[in-house]
Structure 1
């Protein structure tokens, strides 16, 4: 939730900041700076967290993130200079990057096996919930003098609660065994499986111990240099990495996060009197379709849900680009030359809502599951590369949007993102195979056959035939 809140809250801050920093109104480049610094901090935080999580454990990493969230929120809320605001944004970004890397791992390792999938899904739902809350508080404090301080400062409350409640949360049993704390591991496993017998607990401990032993052996055998060599020099691994990282890069370069960071600014540009409230509609749409995607993604399949949704993204962006040609905007100031809200502004709003719906249903969720393409021995390094392909393009998008709006015009900017979204559709069609219901070993075979799109489809057809034959043989 903090991940969603602290990345989304800046949208409202930008439109009410006024002259509170350095006693003057910020330029477009300064607004881009304080927006992009959060993504830059997250870029660094995700790498640091990935490298140190095994050494120090999951709980210390989450505590560290909660401290960063709290300090960052306080620094931002009390900022009177751009430098102080920038420091707060970097700290928040470090917390976001750390949490986005460690929390899903922690959830997976303390959840009972049959609840693991839905627990990780709940994490994704709360990310969207954080964005909705950010817009709600932005709207609530929109007309309050210096209300942006409350917007960013409120982020310190849940992070403090998180730090306190972590005292009652167990450390990951895998981490406890990794650090040779067997008795504590047994106690945690008993809490996770309260109805299990002693024999079942022992079997579970043996299973965890086997996985930890394997992981330690791999860590000793696979140095960073060796993992990178296997990742880039083995063709099948490189194709798997390209599919996973490419999809994540297109998730960012489609322009969605310009709406998360600048939607209030965008709707202010087209003339809405309460742009934050209008932007809240976008956040709620994102939340609704994220939930629907999580419910249906395993039934529909990753590739199919992408092909069903990505086509709508460039269409919506082209419609928005066309509508912007009818909006009277001064490109130097990005302000309306008259105060009338006409049909073009309504078309932009509807197009953005539909764009977000198509995005959240497919491209918003699927890339986070693409690390299943990577073999176990290189998954950690590959996951770090996926995170780099997330936060790296995020920095580019967040730091250039307003400049593009002035330099290329709003129509040109949205047309540019429409083109990138179309390229994402082409990429999915040719390079992204369906891996739903496959074991990790079967996925490895997929990328031994090029990008394996046809191979995976043939495998699914064969699997369905065998399932029907088995049902017939069983008399079902």
Structure 2
């Protein structure tokens, strides 16, 4: 019975508590913080873990303003300047590949702690750079921190919080990325007129990484990770800090989690260490989740968001703003992205994943308008050019803010427990691969397409293709436990498409 099972679990939990000395807590990077109302601990975990996104956002946007002074100080060529922008997503690819072994061996939370150390090292190198080689190294190392963090945060939150708030809390990571991007543009504006201000800009990550590192010391490890490692007592101690232990549904969920962990442990005992990679591609349920998650991430990146963010000051200058105004006007793009994430955070779990996925059609409209803005003469038709351009930019960034939340929510909840780290690694790798590809080739594409507007229109075309895919093949995972999501991906893609078409017809009154 449930009560009998929990008598044994309580005994294991008490034994685990007695073993935790001060030095063990220090080694685990954890000093226990507990609230009477469990909701407070859940929201604190989600809010502080997702705050790692601020670091990622700052490092993505700060280069837009810093590049103006940095290019002159370090005498960078156009090619070297492109590398400074694109080496961070390249480093993030390396970091995302490191994420699986780190999160599997050290734990979900400790992987985020390790990313803080990479951030601090990279920011220090960038701030003190006296050559392009040193700046390259700093940006690449920053990218490693971004890659480790990017995959770890979503898993950590998804494995720790209740299903009914999982989407909201994982979405907060994207909100904090957007907030970090606004901070980055604001920091650039603050230090723009200061001699050598670009060094303060690129070194600002040190402040954020230190704050995050300290905050993480008071958060627990993922209870599902602890269960996965056979630490039932420790897992239950964390569970009681995040759930009402007397609630019947909470007990059932914990027992389901334990049951699945036992099955995974039994399977791992008879498999090689590389079997999890085989399972990801050979088991239909896992393969569908991987294909779906990778496509969702790819559609977001291939619409050119990071190229637009990295070159936003340059794009503002091309449309008609002077250099100084371009730095300040970049806040319009960053602010729109931030505002766009707010509805998704508040109502991700109310309206479901598909509603927010449809926001990709807004990319198409916004990018078309941005492209049209570049067709106006920036001298004789300046007001029209700026009006159409800014309208398109605000639409594009606002809709992307909501959609981008999904690129962290969906991969974090789609994979089975045994393949979650590996699946997130692959998704993160594709995310940063496309980010590097789009960013590095943005200038080349502008030259090949002869004008900037056509390049952005090309990205709009990709957004329209993504919209069609999501109407047909995007499943709904709202309010499902991670264990229940297994059943969703057990359906074939064509079965999901038939259900989606039927639901669309019913919505419009055709059936």
Greater alpha carbon shift after TM alignment, 266-275 vs 205-214: 205-214
Q: Which residue of 2 aligns with 1:413?
A: 455
C-alpha spacing 1:221/1:133, structure 2 compared with 1 (3 Å): farther
The residue aligned with 1:96 is: 146
Compute the displacement of 1:103 (Å).
Answer: 2.2
CA displacement at 1:177 relative to structure 2: 5.0
How many Å apart are 1:63 and its aligned residue?
A: 2.2
Among candidates 183, 187, 197, match of residue 133 of structure 1: 183
Q: Distance in 2 between matches of 1:113 and 1:450?
A: 27
Corresponding position: 1:430 with 2:475? no
Deviations along 1:75-121, one digit per CA (max 9) or x if unpaired, are: 10111111101111111111111111222333344446665444333
1:70 equivalent in alignment to 2:120: yes
Structure-to-structure mapping, 1:395-410, within 5 angstroms: 395-408=436-449, 409-410=451-452
Of residues 200, 204, 215, the one that matches 1:165 is 215
Structure 1: gaps (5+ residues): 329-337, 463-476
CA distance in 2: counterparts of 1:396 and 1:446, whole angstroms? 33
Cross-structure match for 1:284: 335
TM-score by length of 2: 0.77
Bigger mean CA deviation after superposition, 148-157 or 228-237: 228-237
Instruction: Determine if contact 2:169/2:345 at 8 Å carries over to the other structure.
Output: no
Does the 8 Å contact 1:251/1:367 carry over to 2? yes
Contact between 2:170 and 2:409, CA under 8 Å: does it hold in 1?
Answer: no
Distance 1:379 1:165 in 2: 25
Q: C-alpha distance in 1, partners of 2:252/2:477?
A: 30
Q: Residues 108 and 49 of structure 1: is their aligned pair in 2 closer, same or farther, counting only changes over 3 Å?
A: same
- State the shift of 1:316 in Å: 2.4
Determine the C-alpha separation between the residues in 2 that align with 1:183 and 1:445. Answer: 31
Structure 2's unaligned 5+ residue stretches are 1-53, 507-511
**Alpha-carbon distance change, 218 to 133 in structure 1, aligned in 2, over 3 angstroms:** farther
- Whole-Å Cα distance in 2 between the matches of residues 343 and 95 of structure 1? 42
The Cα offsets for residues 409-434 of structure 1, whole Å up to 9 and x where unpaired, read as 21221222122222222322333344
Distance 2:129 2:198 in 1: 11
Contact 1:244 1:373 in 2 (8 A): yes
Structure 2 distance, partners of 1:160, 1:357, is: 30
Change over 3 Å in CA distance of 1:113–1:359 after alignment to 2: closer
Equivalent residue for 1:255, pick from 288, 294, 304: 304
> Is the Cα–Cα contact under 8 Å of residues 2 and 127 in structure 1 kept in the other structure?
yes
- Which range is displaced more, 130-139 or 311-320? 311-320
Give the match's secondary structure for 2:441.
Answer: helix
C-alpha distance in 2 between matches for 1:344 and 1:388: 37
Matched position secondary structure for 1:254: coil
Residues 287-366 of structure 1 mapped to structure 2, 5 A cutoff: 287-307=338-358, 309-327=359-377, 341-362=382-403, 364-366=404-406
**Corresponding residue number in structure 1 for 2:30:** none
Whether the 8 Å contact between 2:175 and 2:405 is mirrored in structure 1 is no
Residues paired across the two proteins, number: 446
Q: Give the SS at the match of 1:80.
A: coil
8 Å Cα contact 2:168-2:347 kept in structure 1: no
Which secondary structure state, in structure 2, belongs to the residue aligned with residue 272 of structure 1? coil
For the pair 1:453 / 2:497, whether they are aligned, the reply is yes
SS of structure 1 residue aligned to 2:195: coil
Q: Residues 291, 413 of structure 1: CA spacing in aligned structure 2 closer, same or farther, 3 A cutoff?
A: same
In 2, distance between residues paired with 1:204 and 1:373? 18
Please show how residues 92-241 of structure 1 align to structure 2 within 5 Å. 92-111=142-161, 116-176=166-226, 185=235, 187-193=237-243, 196=245, 209-221=258-270, 223=272, 225-233=274-282, 237-241=286-290
> Once the two structures are superposed, what CA deviation does each residue of 1:31-65 show, in whole Å capped at 9, x if it has no partner?
22111111111111112112221212234322211
Tell me, what secondary structure is at the counterpart of 2:178? helix
Q: 1:412 to 1:83 in 2, by over 3 A?
A: same
Aligned to 2:99: 49
Secondary structure of 1:311's counterpart equals helix
CA–CA separation in structure 2 for the residues paired with 1:420 and 1:179: 42
Aligned partners of 2:87 and 2:139 also within 8 Å? yes
Alpha-carbon separation, structure 2, partners of 1:40 and 1:189: 37
Deviation at 1:341, TM superposition (A): 4.6
Aligned-residue CA RMSD (Å):
3.2
Return closer, same or farther for 1:224/1:243 CA change in 2, 3 Å cut-off. Answer: farther
Is 1:440 the counterpart of 2:485? The answer is yes
After TM superposition, the score normalised by the length of structure 1 is 0.83
Higher deviation after alignment, 207-216 or 420-429:
207-216
